[in-house]
Each structure stands twice: as C-alpha cells, then as structure tokens.
Structure 1
C-alpha cells in the first residue's frame, strides 16, 4: 500500500476538509487553474484559428507558391506569357507534398456603366482551377464552369456588386486597353453567375474571376500560353522546404515565389499572434502556480499538528512532502478538469454558432475563428500540470523545517 497516497486520500475525502479554514483558499487555487486553462485554450484556438483563416484567404487568391517568368512584369496589364508545356504540369509529381497546380492569367480592365465605372482585375482560370476556397466564399448564385467552351460567365465580389449595384444574372461591359492607345479598347460583356465575399478587402475590391481563354485572346497568346502557375501543398508548416523543392524542379527561366514572400506584411502581422499567445500562456501558468503555492502553504500550516505526529511516528520529510504533493495534484487535476470542460465548451459554441463577431475591415473575418486540435489541448494540460507541480516543490520544503515537538503543541 502507498501510505502517502492513502493519507492524502483520507484528507481529501474528509468532510471537514471541505469546510476548513483553507477551503476558500483551495477553491481560489482550483479556480485560478481552471481560469488559466480556459484563457490559454481560447488564446491558442482563436490565435491559430485567425492565422489559419487569414492564411487560407491569401492562399485562395495566390496559391502556396506562384511560378511565373523571371522577367515577368508585376503589372496585371503586361504579364509575360509562359508555356504550360512543362514537366511539372498538369501534375507536379517530382514534389510529393504538392497537391494541385493550376494555370492562371490576369488582365486589368475597366467596368463601365452608364453613370459609373470601376477598375478591376480579371483573373482568368481554366478547367484545372480548384474552386475549393471559393465554394466557402460564395454567398449568392453559383460558380462558373470553364470545363467546356469559352464563355462570359464570371464570379464577382460582394464589394464590387454593392458598389455597382450588381446582382446575379446581370451583365456588364469591361473595357481592356490595347498597347497602341490610339486604337479603341477591346470590350467583353460579362455575365454574373455568382457573388463571393472572402472578407479580404484588398482582394475583393480587385478580382473578378473569369475564363482564361478571354485573357489569351485579348493578349494574342497561343492556346498553351498562360500568365503563371499556382501551386498548392498539403502542409503549410513545410512551405519553406516545399518551396525550395519546387524551385529546384523548375526551369532557370521561371521564378517560384512562396505566398509568404509575395505578401510579407500580412504574414509578419499574423506571426505576432504567436508572441501574444505564448505571452498569455506564460502569464496564466505563473498565476495558476502562485495560487497553488498559496493553497499548499495554507494546507501545510493547517496540518502542522498532523506533520508533527507523523514525524514523531518516524515519517521522514520526503514521505510527508509526498502527502501534500498528492493533495496538491488532486487540486490541480480538479482545476484542469473544470478548465477544459468550460473552455472547450465555449470554443465549440463559438465554432458552431459564431457568437462573437469581429470587425472584418481589421481582422479579415466577420466572426472569431476557432481551431481545435487535440495535440495543443493535451500539451497545454501537461505543461500546466508539470509546471504547477514543480512550483509546488518550493513550499513543500517548509515541511522539513517543522519541529515535531513544536508542531504537536501548535494550535
């Protein structure tokens, strides 16, 4: 029989334990751990959720890696064409982490109405385009189909639709300037089949998704010429390594750029969330540990006579310390249980019902996103438990300073 565990269990099960002088302090210690776990889980789930959501939106418009011509002009008006007759297209077999590759092209135009106009970039896509992200963004109508013959169906953003009073089924003229400005512009009449809203204003105010064959015709390109390739991978965490592998497999005349390199400001901003999250975790663990130290000190003082009796009966300091550490472990586990129960329940409620809104103009999302993963939940719990238990070794040293004679007479 484990004597220390047996005594600790008897102390915990005793009714007087729950109504003793130390009871309020114990409850505060348990509450501190529970609140700490709740705050940490929320900080991690929402921090990672926001990072992932923003990252996915940027990837939706660019892919994880973009491959284009080295001397390609950054302007949407004068992309240098590249052939789609590449070893890595239509399947990038050389790099196993690549899940999809698609050919796209862009061209600037002016949407012209009777009393209004708006600048836009027509992003031309084809039959190989993966609509996974835009299925989530779609708020009205349906996605266009470019698998058959060339058509004028487009997907327009809710931002542009509201500014120009467009709705699904409307048609509009888009003017494309020619290199020779003395010649009249080319005009295409597009038909709106769907309206999307990514919440990312920088892209929503710019992009109209259309048929890549119109861009090829306007630029007088061959059928196999495109503006760039967008590459998608299976694991964002391996982006840097995958980008290097992709770059090694492409021609020296082509330039591969990762999404983080193309959008440094956005990714530097969302990386700050990591620092904030780690700071919150550290603070909450320290607060929970200090509260548990206080609770253990009170328990030790309250059980001074018991310590004296045990020492008089021959118990050593290590054995008595184990009793109180078992006791404290129980309190920590109770705090962890309630913290996880409440914290995960709150996160599930937010994930299912979108209870807490956000300013989309500042955070690019309309509600607080939640990312739940068993890995970080287990890590937070183990980390909190271990750190709190290690911190409790400090006050338990007091036990060795207690004299049996004085302790027995302590009142």
Structure 2
C-alpha cells in the first residue's frame, strides 16, 4: 500500500529537526490527546460496566428473578400455586417469603429497617449471602434469631448474641385498642455482601418468626422465583402469569429496578458521547499539526514533485505521517486504559492512602469496592473509532500537499 520511498519520507517528517520543533510539539500534543482520550474512554466504560454487573449480580443474588405478589391480601394457601410454578420450564426454585418494614430499637435508639423472613434452607441457597457470612453459624438461624449486615452491626454495636427489638407497623388488637406489636430478636449471624443498602438496612429472620411477628399465620407476602436465565424471562414470566391470573401479580427484577437500570444506561451513553469528544478534539490537533507540516515542507514537496513524485505519492506520505500519530496514540492509550481498568481498585487504594481522602464512598455508590469489567467489543469499537478519526483528520492536509504547485512553491526560493 505504501512504497519504501513514501514510508521513508513519512518517517523523516515524524522525526522533526530542531528547526521544526514547533510542529513536533503540536504533533506530540495530538499524540497525547488521542492516547488520553482512548485510555479515558476505556477506563470509564469499564467502570460503568463494572457498576452495572456488580449491582445486578447482587440484586439477583439477594432477590428472586421473578416475584409473585398477592393483589389484595397475603398469600394464604400458596402450596398448590408453588407446585404449579415449580413445574414451569426454566424455573429452578420457588420459595415463600415475607418482606416488610419495621422499627428497630436498641438502647433508646430507633431506626427503620427492612425485614425479610425466609427459611434457613432458602437463605443458604443464595451464594451472595451464604458465602459472605463473617460471623455466626447457620444452625443458629432458628426461632427469634436474625442475620444482620456488617455496617448495621458496627453502627449499633451489635455482636453475635446481642438482642434488639423490632416493632411491627401492624397494630395488635387488644381490649384497650390497637397496640404496636413488638418482639425481641437475637443476632445469630453477620453478613457482608459489599452492598451498602443491604449491609446497613436489611435484617433476615426465619420465616416462622416473621409470620408470628407480622401476625400472618401461615401466609407469605410473596413467592420468590429463581430461573435458569435471569436475562431472558419473558417466556417464563408469561407462563407464570397464566397460573396466577386474577389471584396475584407477577413482576420480574427488571420491573422492580427499571428506573435504576434506565438511569445507568442513560449515564453510560452520555459518558461515552462526552468522552468521545476528547478523541475528536485530538483529531483536530492532528489536522492542525499536519497543515503546519505541509506549510513547512512546501519546498520539499515541490522538489520531490519536480523529481517525479506523483500527487498520489504526496497524499500517501502525509496520510501515513498523520495516521501514524493516531495509530500509535490509539495503541498506547488502549494498553494504558486496559492496564488501569484491570488494577483500578489497587490504584484507588493507593490514591486514598496518598491523599488521605475517601474517593469512593459506600453510602453514595452502594458498593464497597470500585468495580471494572472490560467489554472487549467496546474496546474494539473505541479502537476502530480512534483509527477512523485519525485517518479522516489527515485527508484534508494530505490533499493540500498533493495540490501544491511546484512552480509556485519554488518561485521565491
């Protein structure tokens, strides 16, 4: 595609002499701009992918893929419905749960919490929970016991064996009127799932204890369904809706978290668009540096033309010169971005130790670690976009060089 002559001349133009230092400086800034733009785009998109994957993984690990809620009252006789749903192709498990709010009081301090009642077997089927118990034994999860998060235990100074009181929002009828229902629970296990909302606000209790506490008898508030593929639920959801038609509503994890997932997608798209501007600005720098190079090398171009070089050769020389800046900048930026994304948590810890500030707050970002997941399709798209912009940026300066008239260029030499 490029002859040895064209490669030689382009290489000489890239290695500018002292007299052409200003052109070289602009070319260097163009290289740095493309490198930083590509690296920043890969890093930010990897972090956005990491956020989505970590949050979705934890949401799916702590909640069912599909939930069946009663349209009016708690699900009283749900055993037949549970068996029917369990036979639906794609369903791996169905379990009854109780989930409701309560007021937690300890040593005069009160705070609102979310209480989830489920059996010990169902609790241990969730790897996100069962693999992250840092204290306590599953065998102790019986009676009026509870599993709480690490942040809640630290905030309220609760340890294994500590007790606290839960007050139900549902009043208990007495001869003296409605009285709040309360019960004392014992901390049996402490978990740390790395998600602020759950580690600080959720309490898991045995299903029978939750039924007694909320005065629900043998009923449950919903059925939690786990499927083989949480990303493709439409067919399973439709089959379950036929079973529960008129009795209960069916909602999947996408319905329950739609606003959150949409916000992530919008933010991801906007960040991609904004950071693409960095590469675009760097491409304009390439145009500037190449136009100045053509202006500076007008005499050389004229001499090469008079010695037999064609306009096509002149155009290819300057395309190769400008594209080399973009290609090398893209490759270096890609390597830098991938290396940064793969070690982003270590880099964050280092910067926090260096500056003494918290760069990634659990309360704001919901995660205890900064995640990054590299999507290689996105990396390829970024590389292709940077290549394309780099080559397009060289076309006009190369065309100017090819159109240069040797007579006019040498007239005043």
TM class, shorter-length: 0.7 to 0.9
Please list the CA deviations of residues 350-389 of structure 1 after superposition, one character each: whole Å capped at 9, or x if unmatched: 2345436323332223453322232212221111111221
1:372 aligns with 2:374: yes
The 5 A counterparts of 1:103-114 are 103-113=96-106
CA displacement at 1:283 relative to structure 2: 0.8
SS of equivalent to 1:398: helix
Structure 1 residues 82, 10: closer, same or farther in 2, change over 3 A?
farther
The corresponding residue for 2:313 is 319
1:296 aligns with 2:290: yes
Superposition TM-score, scaled by structure 1 size: 0.80
Counterpart-to-counterpart distance in 2, 1:63 and 1:310 = 73
1:342 aligns with 2:342: no
SS of equivalent to 2:173: coil
1:394 aligns with 2:396: yes
The 5 A counterparts of 1:153-232 are 153-174=145-166, 176=168, 180-182=172-174, 185=181, 187=183, 189-196=185-192, 198-201=194-197, 203-217=198-212, 219=215, 221-222=217-218, 226-232=220-226
1:34 aligns with 2:35: yes
Counterpart-to-counterpart distance in 2, 1:30 and 1:151 = 66
Counterpart-to-counterpart distance in 1, 2:205 and 2:412 = 85
Please list the CA deviations of residues 28-52 of structure 1 after superposition, one character each: whole Å capped at 9, or x if unmatched: 1111111111221122122222333
Counterpart-to-counterpart distance in 1, 2:259 and 2:200 = 19
1:405 aligns with 2:397: no
1:82–1:226 Cα contact (<8 Å) kept: no
Counterpart-to-counterpart distance in 2, 1:175 and 1:27 = 67
The corresponding residue for 2:45 is 44
RMSD: 3.5
Structure 1 residues 367, 128: closer, same or farther in 2, change over 3 A?
closer
CA displacement at 1:231 relative to structure 2: 4.1
Counterpart-to-counterpart distance in 2, 1:48 and 1:100 = 29
Counterpart-to-counterpart distance in 1, 2:71 and 2:409 = 82
The corresponding residue for 1:362 is 364
Superposition TM-score, scaled by structure 2 size: 0.79
Structure 1 residues 116, 302: closer, same or farther in 2, change over 3 A?
closer
Please list the CA deviations of residues 153-178 of structure 1 after superposition, one character each: whole Å capped at 9, or x if unmatched: 42212343244321133234445577
CA displacement at 1:245 relative to structure 2: 4.3
Stretches of structure 1 lacking an aligned partner (at least 5 in a row): 73-78
CA displacement at 1:402 relative to structure 2: 0.6
Match of 1:278 among 264, 272, 295: 272
Structure 1 residues 123, 299: closer, same or farther in 2, change over 3 A?
same
The corresponding residue for 2:238 is 247
Counterpart-to-counterpart distance in 2, 1:49 and 1:143 = 32
SS of equivalent to 1:281: helix
Stretches of structure 2 lacking an aligned partner (at least 5 in a row): 352-358
Please list the CA deviations of residues 190-225 of structure 1 after superposition, one character each: whole Å capped at 9, or x if unmatched: 333214364434x55542012223234554544xx5
The corresponding residue for 2:263 is 269
The corresponding residue for 2:115 is 122
SS of equivalent to 1:123: strand
